[in-house]
């Protein structure tokens, strides 16, 4: 019996080894470690790089289109400025021509006034000359009206410079004709003055002759 008592304490030793076995089983069934994430990271970086590349390409395309649009707008602006400068130069030329015609018209009017003053001193034979002078004055007035209309049209329609230049050319012809008519009238007036002087001389001689008789 004493021997049996010595061996009994070792009997509960069997359950003590059971947790170790369970621990070994758990170690055997432990989940294997996760595979490295380098492949997934590489794919993600590649996708991100592709997106960035596409975004960069689209951005540079937009920038290129914008630069091209800016260049086109600048070219159009330069062309418009060049056309404006050319038009301004044509308008200035038209203004110079108009001023010259105005000066010539003033000179013609001054000559017409002088002719009228000379004709007022002439005898009744100058009535026809006076009529011609009035006609010249009417032409000068008509020319003045046309001149004013041309100036207004030139200011209002600066884009129609060629039409204004054609009108100015016609007016120049009319002014030259009016000037020629004025010169002719002056010649006629001088002729009438000579005839008047001759008539006065003849009257004076007749008076002297009658006085002697």
- Whether residue 23 is contained in a domain is answered as no
Supply the pLDDT for residue 6.
Answer: 40
For the whole prediction, is pTM greater than 0.75? no
- Is 15 part of any domain? no
Residue 80: inside a domain, yes or no?
A: yes
Domain count, the chain: 1
Query: Does residue 142 belong to any structural domain of this protein?
Result: yes
- Please report whether residue 176 resides in a domain: yes
pLDDT digits (tens, 9 = 90+) for 101-140: 888 888 888 887 887 777 677 666 667 767 777 888 888 8
**Looking at residue 26, what is its pLDDT?**
55
Residue 11, SS3? coil
Asked whether residue 208 is assigned to any structural domain, the reply reads yes
Establish if 185 belongs to a structural domain.
yes
The answer to whether position 78 is within a domain reads yes
pLDDT at 11: 45
* Predicted local distance difference test score (pLDDT) of residue 5: 41
Q: Which domain holds residue 131?
A: 71-212
Question: Do 150 and 167 form a contact (C-beta atoms < 8 A)?
Answer: yes
Structure tokens at 87: 């038009």
Please give the pLDDT value at position 116.
76
User: Which tens digits make up the pLDDT trace of 55-94?
Assistant: 888 888 888 888 888 888 888 888 888 888 888 888 888 8
How far is Cα 148 from Cα 24, in angstroms, rounded to an integer?
120
SS3 of the chain: helix, strand, coil, percent, to 5: 90, 0, 10
pLDDT tens, position by position, 147-177: 788 777 667 766 666 776 787 788 888 888 8
pLDDT tens for each residue of 1-21: 444 444 444 444 445 455 555
**Rounded mean pLDDT, 179-203:** 85
DSSP state of 31: P
126, exposed or middle or buried, with CB in 10 Å at 0-12, 13-18, 19+?
buried
């Amino acid at each position: 019996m004493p021997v049996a008592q010595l061996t009994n304490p070792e009997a509960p030793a069997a359950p003590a080894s059971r947790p170790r076995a369970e621990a070994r089983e758990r170690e055997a069934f432990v989940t294997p470690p996760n595979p490295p994430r380098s492949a997934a990271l590489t794919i993600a970086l590649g996708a991100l790089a592709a997106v960035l590349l596409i975004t960069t390409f689209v951005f540079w395309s937009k920038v290129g289109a914008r630069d091209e649009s800016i260049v086109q707008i600048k070219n159009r602006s330069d062309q418009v400025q060049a056309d404006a400068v050319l038009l301004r130069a044509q308008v200035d030329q038209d203004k110079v021509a108009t001023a010259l015609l105005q000066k010539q018209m003033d000179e013609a009017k001054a000559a017409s006034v002088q002719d009228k003053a000379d004709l007022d001193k002439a005898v009744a034979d100058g009535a026809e000359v006076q009529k011609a002078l009035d006609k010249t004055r009417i032409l000068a007035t008509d020319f003045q009206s046309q001149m004013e209309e041309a100036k207004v049209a030139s200011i209002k329609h600066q884009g129609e410079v060629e039409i204004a230049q054609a009108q100015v050319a016609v007016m120049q012809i009319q002014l030259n004709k009016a000037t020629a008519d004025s010169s002719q009238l002056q010649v006629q007036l001088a002729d009438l003055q000579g005839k008047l002087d001759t008539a006065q001389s003849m009257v004076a001689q007749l008076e002297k002759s009658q006085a002697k008789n």
